Structure 1
């Protein structure tokens, strides 16, 4: 008799546990785990950078199409180096934005290419866009933030 009552008690306990687990799964409260907190932060950062890349790409396209600037600053009146750099950034910024939004590895690579390209153009060829150290500093801060977040996210996942 004790074996039967022990089995019934174990069955009741399992039923209660299963009921509790199924109710927890049905509850509207979401239990947040701290397992992937850096990965979520990295994806959020990439999405913010995607929005910024879209704005930068559209700005360059506005320069190409003549939506912004005066007649003296028209695309046709600029140097060949300026025109080339502007078209390059108009295309690559929007490509990077798509990849960043999707949080794909190629998106980060394309975005890193745009960051480094802009810094090189500003530092090595100041005649094209004016050589603004502020732009270089902002690009360096964004690059540093990406590298720090990517490193912390990589540390979350075991090899």
Structure 2
């Protein structure tokens, strides 16, 4: 499990880096984004950074943030496609990462019982 959390941490650092590029206009044009997109990018930048730190350190709050981010992105990208567009890669990514996490939790509980 620790290795998986560290891998997730690295992936979330990557996500935070992409959002930082967005804020500085190096990837997306932040200045012309709608307010909803600006808030969304800001939320993801802060949350991804915090989750990456917590996951790397193996803290329960890191896992909670990972789950919060994943679920919030799934809700946003599946329910509000008219705002966020088609984010199929991220939807699949989050289903896979949550499923893997839950599978590892179940496996570790079976091993210890």
- Is 1:63 the counterpart of 2:22? The answer is yes
Equivalent positions of 1:1-159 (< 5 A) are 42-69=1-28, 74-158=29-113
The TM-score normalised by the length of structure 1 is 0.67
Larger gyration radius, structure 1 or structure 2: 1
Q: Which runs of 5 or more structure 2 residues have no equivalent in the other structure?
A: none
Task: Report Cα offsets for 1:102-159 as digits up to 9, x if no partner.
Answer: 111111000000101111111111133313233212210110000000111223335x
- Count residues in correspondence: 113
Matched with 1:27 is none
Q: Which runs of 5 or more structure 1 residues have no equivalent in the other structure?
A: 1-41
TM-score by length of structure 2 reads 0.92
CA-atom RMSD in angstroms? 1.3
Residue 125 of structure 1 contacts residue 131 of structure 1 at CA under 8 Å; is this kept in 2? Answer: no
Give 1 or 2: higher helix fraction.
2
SS at match of 2:76: helix
Partner Cα distance (1:129, 1:52) in 2 = 21
